[in-house]
Amino acid sequence: MSLLTRIASLLGLSSPAPVAPPGAALAATLTVPASLGFVPVAIHFDLFDILVSLGSPASAEKVTTTCNARIKARDNNEPELSTRLASDTLYIMAGLGLVERMDEDSFSANAITKHMVAMPSAQHGALHFTTEGLMAGAFLMKKLQDTNFAYPFADADGPLQYAYRLMGQPELAAQHTYSIMETQGRMDSFNRFMVGKFFKFGTFPERVKSMGYDLDSALAMDGNPGSAAMVDIGGGRGELLLEVQAVYPQLTADELIVQEFNAEIDSVPGVRLMEWNYKESSEQPIRGARVYSLQHILHNLPDLDAVALLQKISKAMAPGSRILIIEYAKNLTYTSLHASMIALYGGRERSPEEWRQIAGLTGLKVTFEAS
């Protein structure tokens, strides 16, 4: 599946008709990585925002002048942008489809540019996958070769850690990817990405109900009076639970619990924040909750870690409790995300059969699934 076909699939559009011969399509796909390395440059200098704010086609020189005026106004002694770097970056962004190239030296915002500016989480996501993700991918084969192709990777012993080991930074090489990002001051950006990701289709209650899941019954107190309504494990800044609370205003902050192990998050207004690291010896502290939710958490974990986390939740569940696992389907649309999870965290996307196997190992049963 080509890059354009995957994008069309993500957006629910008809796949574009193939126009390039096989060799050209191959070259277009495999020469992308270096181009992605320029995405952080575009974001650092606010090039997407500048094109949107200018509102009409602009030369690289005009973009550079606007950018440097902003830098001078901030008065933080920041390095300025050169016209040559702006020109190359805008040209490359146009090749990626992130901006429009009007002629040889004229660029403008397109729909993707405007989306990235209107939804800042998308730019933070772009930074993550073109910083940590690109680096991990570059060292994947070297890691395999030097370890006699030992596979799968452990969560804190993957290609990213190996890259830092080869660069002579053992303190980073020994850390999980999230800890590396925290050390480098990158975790706040990642948390901002997780709030909105690249795009969202409705609120959490709207999404699960559109798939046919009976969230009303799952949250009802009938089977579990006095219990917590919902525990969102790895719930970041609490956006999922706040969306639930907006639809179910009878649920109090004490009934909606975010469990996090993230130094950048110290409060979540409107819900209850609890620190919990499943890797420590402590069991799941909230017992008998009506719903335990794991949204895009398990695909970050190797199989054994996913089993360990689910076992702890399983032991805490009451007869009426449910676990809601929200992950991407393992199909051709999400092959790049699958590769990213492997390289960054030792995780993976999983098929329905793989989920049933994990459920069987943790004393759970799959009672609902949607593609």
Q: pLDDT tens digits, residue range 123-152?
A: 999 999 999 999 999 999 999 999 999 999
- Would residue 128 show up in a list of annotated catalytic residues for this protein? no
Q: Please check whether residue 253 is in contact with residue 272, taking contact to mean a CB–CB distance below 8 angstroms.
A: yes
Q: Residue range 163-174: average pLDDT? A: 98
- Asked whether residue 194 is domain-assigned, the answer is no
Domain boundary among 118, 134, 159: 118
Lowest-confidence pick of 1-15, 175-189, 283-297: 1-15
What would the pLDDT profile of 79-126 be if each residue is shown by its tens digit?
Answer: 999 999 999 999 999 999 999 999 999 999 999 999 999 999 999 999
Give the list of residues 6+ apart from residue 71 with CB closer than 8 angstroms, or none.
78, 80, 81
Report CA torsion sign: 316, 319, 325, 330: positive
Q: Rounded to whole angstroms, how far apart are CA atoms 16 and 89?
A: 26
Same domain (yes/no): 240, 154: no
Same domain (yes/no): 209, 259: yes
Of residues 1, 112, 88, 109, the one with CA closest to residue 37:
88
The CATH number of residue 70's host domain is 1.10.10.10
Q: Rounded to whole angstroms, how far apart are CA atoms 148 and 212?
A: 46
Same domain (yes/no): 237, 168: no
Report CA torsion sign: 110, 115, 118, 121: negative
- Asked whether residue 70 is domain-assigned, the answer is yes
Same domain (yes/no): 88, 167: no
Same domain (yes/no): 217, 339: yes
- pLDDT reading at 214 higher than 70: yes
Same domain (yes/no): 246, 320: yes
Query: Where are the strands (E) in the chain, listed by range?
Result: 100-103, 106-108, 230-233, 256-260, 272-275, 291-295, 322-326
Same domain (yes/no): 232, 343: yes
Q: Please check whether residue 65 is in contact with residue 45, taking contact to mean a CB–CB distance below 8 angstroms.
A: no
17 pLDDT band, cuts 50/70/90, is low
Domain that holds residue 345: 204-361
The CATH number of residue 262's host domain is 3.40.50.150
Same domain (yes/no): 284, 167: no
- Asked whether residue 8 is domain-assigned, the answer is no
Tally of domains in the chain: 3
Same domain (yes/no): 105, 131: no
Residue 301 burial by Cβ neighbours in a 10 Å radius (0-12, 13-18, 19+): buried
Active-site residue (options: 124, 128, 176, 299): 299
Q: From residue 73, give the alpha-carbon distance in Å to each of 50, 84, 191.
A: 15, 22, 28
What would the pLDDT profile of 218-228 be if each residue is shown by its tens digit?
Answer: 998 765 666 89
3-class SS at 275?
strand
Same domain (yes/no): 183, 265: no
Same domain (yes/no): 301, 208: yes
Same domain (yes/no): 236, 351: yes
Report which secondary-structure segment, H or E, holds 183.
helix 177-183
